[in-house]
C-alpha cells in the first residue's frame, strides 16, 4: 500500500500503533495544564505586582527590581532544578514535579507580567488623568473609564506573547520527570526504535503540530484584538 | 457691557495665592476676582506661571498659601468636594488631550453620563447640538487620531462645554496648532464670549486677546505686573515690563 509506505518512511506510522496518539494528546494536556494554571496565576499576580510597581516607594522599587533581575538572569531550567531537587532536600517537603513546575513558571510569569503591566500603566500620559479630573471625574472613575481601558489595550498583545512563550517553555518540565508531550514523544520513539527507525521525524513533527495548534489560536486572537483597537 | 459688569456677582477669586514647586516660588501673592460673564485674557512671557495659575484655579495643583473660591466654596486640590467643583470649572489644555480609545461622541458624553449622571440619549443629543455649532457633527464617530489638531481642540472645547461649567479655562489652546487651524478654534472662543460665558484665556494671539478680552492681565515672574482694559493695555501699557513684552510681538522694518 503506497499510503502506508509513505507514512512509514516519515515515521508517522507509530502514531497509529496502540494508544500512541492518545498518549501524545494526554502529554500535551499535561503541558497545557501546567501552562494554563501558571498563566492564570501569573496574570492575576502580575496585575497586582505591576500596579504596586508604579508606586513611588523606594523600598518597593528596589525589591521588585531585584525580583525582576533574578527572573531575567536565571534560566528557567535552573529554577526548576532548584525548586524540585534543591528545596525538597533542604526543607524535606515533598513537592510533586508538576507543582514545582507551576511554582517556577508562576514566579517567572508574574515578574514578566508585572513588568508589562507597569510599562502599560506608566505609558498613559499624565494629561489623560488630568483631562478626566478637569471634567469632574473622581480618581476611581478616571481609572475605570480612561486609564484601565487604555492599559488593557496595550497589555493584551504583549501578554499574549508572554502566554505563548510560557506554553512553549513548559517543554522543560520533562527535565524534572514530568511526562508531558515531548517526553511521551521520546518514549514512543524509544519503544519503536527497531520497528520504525524513522519515528523521530513523525513523532516530533506531530509534537510540533500540537504546539502549533495550541498557540496559533492565541496569536490569531492577539492579531484580531490589535487590529480592532488600532483605531482606538 | 463693561459698565454692566461692575454690578455682576463675583464668581471666582484667588486671594494671596502662593505657589511653590520644590521650594521655588512660582506664583507670589496673586489676587484676582472674576465676575460672572467676564472674559479675562492672561498674557506673559513663557515660564512666568500662566499655566500653573490656571491649574491652581481648578485644583490640579496644590497651593502653599492663599485661597481660591468658586461661588464662595473653597477650591482645594485633594479636598473632599474637589471633583464637584471641577465639574463647574471647564479646562482646555494646549496639547489636545482627548481620550484616544473613545470616539468623538463618547469623549463628549463620558463625563456627562458618569459624573452628571444624565441619561445617555439626552447626553448624546446635546453633544450633537454642540458639535453642530462647531461644525463637526459629521465627525461624531471618528476617533481622535483621525482628526486634525484644530478639530481636536474644537472637540475638547465641546467636551468641556457639555459639563455646563460656570467658568472655562483655556491654556494656550492654539499654541500647538498649524497657523491655518488657529482661526477656527479662536472663532469658537469668540462665539462663547458673545454668549456671555465666563472665561480665563491664556494666549499669545494678541489681536484675538484685544478682541475677546474684557480685561487683560499681564503676568511676569509669578506676579501680576499690570492689568487693564484691552485697548488701554495694548496701546498704552503703563509698566516698562509690559511695554518690553508687547514689543517682542512687533518688528521694525528692515532698512536697506
Ligand atoms: N510640575 C512642575 N515641577 C516643577 N516646576 C514646574 C512644574 N510645572 C511648572 N514648573 C515651573 O514653573 C514655572 C512656571 O511654569 P508655567 O506655569 O508652565 O509657565 P507658563 O505657562 O507661563 O509658560 C516654570 O519655571 C516651570 O519650570
Ligand atoms: Mg504654559
Whether residue A10 has pLDDT greater than 60: yes
CA B25 to ligand 1 center in whole angstroms: 10
Q: Count CA within 13 A, CB hemisphere, residue B50.
A: 26
Residue closest to B110 by CA, chosen among A121, A135, A134, A143: A135
CA B108 to ligand 2 center in whole angstroms: 24
Question: What is the pLDDT confidence band of residue A178, given thresholds at 50, 70 and 90?
Answer: confident
Q: Is B26 in the pocket of ligand 1 (CB under 6 A)?
A: yes
Q: Is B49 in the pocket of ligand 1 (CB under 6 A)?
A: yes
Phi/psi class of residue A73: alpha, beta or left (left: φ > 0; alpha: ψ in -120 to 50)?
alpha
Interval B71-127: pLDDT, tens: 888 888 888 888 888 999 999 999 878 999 999 999 999 999 999 999 999 999 999
**A145 → chain B, closest CA residue:** B110
For Cα atoms B28, B31, B33, give the angle at the middle one, nearest 5 degrees: 155
Determine the average pLDDT of the residues in A188-214: 84
Q: Which numbered ligand comes closest to the C-alpha of B48?
A: 1
Determine the average pLDDT of the residues in B41-60: 94
**Where does A15-231 sit in CATH, by number?**
1.10.3720.10
Q: What is the predicted pLDDT for the residue at B76? A: 84
What does the alpha-carbon distance between residue B74 and residue A102 come to, in Å, rounded to a whole number? 55
Minimum-distance ligand 1 atom for the alpha carbon of B52: 17
Q: What is the predicted pLDDT for the residue at B46? A: 93
Q: What is the predicted pLDDT for the residue at A227? A: 80
Instruction: Give pTM, 2 decimals.
Output: 0.84
DSSP chain B: -HHHHTTSPEEEEEEEEEEEETTEEEEEEEEEEEETT-EEEEE--TTSSHHHHHHHHTTSS--SEEEEEETTEEP-TT-TTHHHHHHTEEEE-SS----TTS-HHHHHHHHHHHTS---HHHHHHHHHHHHHHTT-GGGTT--GGGS-HHHHHHHHHHHHHTT--SEEEEESTTTTS-HHHHHHHHHHHHHHHHTT-EEEEE-S-HHHHHHH-SEEEEEETTEEEEEE-HHHHHHS--SHHHHHHHHTT--PPPP-
Lowest mean pLDDT across A187-201, B79-93, B188-202, B239-253 = A187-201
Q: Do A134 and B91 touch (CB under 8 A)?
A: yes
Whether residue B3 has pLDDT greater than 70: no
Question: What is the pLDDT confidence band of residue A193, given thresholds at 50, 70 and 90?
Answer: confident
Q: What is the predicted pLDDT for the residue at A1? A: 46
Interval A66-98: pLDDT, tens: 999 999 898 888 888 888 888 877 787 778 888
Interval A12-69: pLDDT, tens: 888 888 888 888 888 888 888 999 999 999 999 999 999 999 888 899 989 999 999 9
Q: Higher pLDDT residue, A212 or A130?
A: A130
For B97, the closest of A127, A136, A137 (CB atoms) is A127
Q: Residue A193, SS3?
A: coil
Q: Do A232 and B143 touch (CB under 8 A)?
A: yes
Which residue do the cell numbers 484584538 mark?
A225
Instruction: Break chain A into its structural domains and give their ranges.
Output: 15-231
Minimum-distance ligand 1 atom for the alpha carbon of B44: 22
Interval B125-151: pLDDT, tens: 999 999 999 999 999 999 999 999 999
Q: Which numbered ligand comes closest to the C-alpha of B171?
A: 2
Q: Are A225 and A158 in contact (CB under 8 A)?
A: no
What does the alpha-carbon distance between residue A15 and residue A26 come to, in Å, rounded to a whole number? 13
Q: Which numbered ligand comes closest to the C-alpha of B94?
A: 2
The enclosing H or E element of A132 equals helix A126-134
Crossing angle of helices A20-53 and A199-229, in 10° steps, is 40
Q: DSSP class of residue A138?
A: -
Using DSSP bridges, classify how beta strands B215-220 and B39-43 pair: parallel, antiparallel or unpaired: parallel
Residues in chain A: 232
CA A204 to ligand 1 center in whole angstroms: 63
Q: Higher pLDDT residue, B119 or A230?
A: B119
Q: Are B17 and B222 in contact (CB under 8 A)?
A: no
Q: Do B115 and A130 touch (CB under 8 A)?
A: no
Using DSSP bridges, classify how beta strands B10-21 and B24-35 pair: parallel, antiparallel or unpaired: antiparallel
Which residues of B sit within 8 Å Cβ distance of A?
Answer: 58, 60, 83-84, 86-91, 93, 95, 97-102, 110-111, 114-116, 143, 145-146, 159-160, 163
Q: Is B52 in the pocket of ligand 1 (CB under 6 A)?
A: yes
Cβ contacts of B93 on chain A, cutoff 8 Å: 127, 130-131, 134
Whether residue A204 has pLDDT greater than 80: yes
CA A222 to ligand 2 center in whole angstroms: 40
Determine the average pLDDT of the residues in B17-23: 93
Q: Is B248 in the pocket of ligand 1 (CB under 6 A)?
A: no
Partners of B68 in beta bridges: B14
Q: What is the predicted pLDDT for the residue at B146? A: 93
What does the alpha-carbon distance between residue B237 and residue B207 come to, in Å, rounded to a whole number? 15
Minimum-distance ligand 1 atom for the alpha carbon of B171: 21
Cβ contacts of B117-124, under 8 Å, gap ≥ 24: B123/B162
Question: What is the pLDDT confidence band of residue A6, given thresholds at 50, 70 and 90?
Answer: low
How many angstroms separate the CA of residue B247 from the nearest CA in chain A? 33
Lowest mean pLDDT across A104-118, A198-212, B166-180 = A198-212
Interval A143-162: pLDDT, tens: 999 999 999 888 888 888 88
- Cα A48 versus chain centre, distance: 18
For A136, the closest of B83, B102, B143 (CB atoms) is B83
Q: Extract the C-alpha cell encoding A117.
A: 503591566
Amino acid at each position: 500500500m503506497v499510503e502506508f509506505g509513505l507514512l512509514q518512511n516519515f515515521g508517522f506510522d507509530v502514531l497509529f500503533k496502540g494508544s500512541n496518539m492518545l498518549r501524545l494528546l494526554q502529554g500535551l494536556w499535561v503541558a497545557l495544564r501546567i501552562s494554563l494554571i501558571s498563566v492564570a496565576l501569573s496574570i492575576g499576580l502580575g496585575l497586582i505586582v505591576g500596579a504596586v510597581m508604579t508606586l513611588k516607594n523606594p523600598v518597593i522599587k528596589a525589591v521588585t527590581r531585584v525580583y525582576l533581575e533574578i527572573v531575567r538572569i536565571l534560566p528557567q531550567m535552573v529554577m526548576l532544578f532548584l525548586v524540585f531537587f534543591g528545596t525538597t532536600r533542604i526543607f524535606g517537603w515533598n513537592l510533586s514535579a508538576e507543582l514545582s513546575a507551576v511554582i517556577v513558571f508562576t514566579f517567572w510569569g508574574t515578574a514578566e507580567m508585572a513588568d508589562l503591566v507597569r510599562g502599560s500603566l506608566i505609558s498613559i500620559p499624565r494629561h489623560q488623568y488630568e483631562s478626566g479630573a478637569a471634567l469632574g471625574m473622581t480618581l476611581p472613575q478616571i481609572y475605570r473609564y480612561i486609564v484601565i481601558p487604555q492599559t488593557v489595550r496595550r497589555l493584551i498583545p504583549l501578554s499574549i506573547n508572554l502566554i505563548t512563550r510560557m506554553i512553549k517553555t513548559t517543554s522543560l518540565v520533562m527535565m524534572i520527570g514530568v511526562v508531558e508531550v515531548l517526553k511521551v514523544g521520546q518514549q514512543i520513539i524509544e519503544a519503536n526504535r527497531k520497528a520504525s527507525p524513522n519515528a523521530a521525524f513523525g513523532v516530533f513533527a506531530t509534537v510540533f503540530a500540537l504546539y502549533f495548534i495550541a498557540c496559533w489560536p492565541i496569536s490569531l486572537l492577539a492579531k484580531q484584538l490589535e487590529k480592532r483597537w488600532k483605531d482606538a | 457691557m463693561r459698565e454692566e459688569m461692575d454690578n455682576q456677582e463675583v464668581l471666582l477669586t484667588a486671594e494671596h495665592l502662593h505657589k511653590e514647586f520644590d521650594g521655588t516660588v512660582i506664583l507670589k501673592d496673586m489676587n484676582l476676582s472674576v465676575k460672572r460673564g467676564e472674559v479675562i485674557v492672561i498674557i506673559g512671557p513663557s515660564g512666568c506661571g500662566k499655566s500653573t495659575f490656571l491649574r491652581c484655579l481648578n485644583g490640579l495643583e496644590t497651593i502653599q498659601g492663599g485661597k481660591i473660591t468658586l461661588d464662595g466654596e473653597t477650591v482645594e486640590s485633594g479636598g473632599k468636594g474637589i471633583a464637584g467643583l471641577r465639574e463647574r470649572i471647564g479646562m482646555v489644555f494646549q496639547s489636545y488631550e482627548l481620550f484616544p480609545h473613545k470616539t468623538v461622541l463618547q469623549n463628549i458624553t463620558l463625563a456627562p453620563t458618569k459624573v452628571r449622571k444624565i441619561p445617555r440619549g439626552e447626553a448624546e443629543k446635546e453633544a450633537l447640538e454642540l458639535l453642530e455649532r462647531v461644525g463637526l457633527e459629521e465627525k461624531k464617530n471618528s476617533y481622535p487620531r483621525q482628526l486634525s489638531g484644530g478639530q481636536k481642540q474644537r472637540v475638547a472645547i465641546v467636551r468641556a462645554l457639555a459639563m455646563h461649567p460656570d467658568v472655562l479655562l483655556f491654556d494656550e489652546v492654539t499654541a500647538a496648532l498649524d497657523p491655518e487651524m488657529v482661526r477656527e478654534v479662536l472663532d469658537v472662543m469668540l462665539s462663547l464670549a458673545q454668549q456671555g460665558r465666563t472665561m480665563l484665556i491664556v494666549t499669545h494671539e494678541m489681536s484675538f486677546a484685544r478682541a475677546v478680552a474684557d480685561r487683560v492681565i499681564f503676568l511676569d515672574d509669578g506676579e501680576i505686573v499690570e492689568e487693564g482694559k484691552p485697548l488701554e493695555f495694548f496701546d498704552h501699557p503703563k509698566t516698562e515690563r509690559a511695554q518690553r513684552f508687547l514689543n517682542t510681538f512687533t518688528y521694525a522694518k528692515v532698512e536697506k
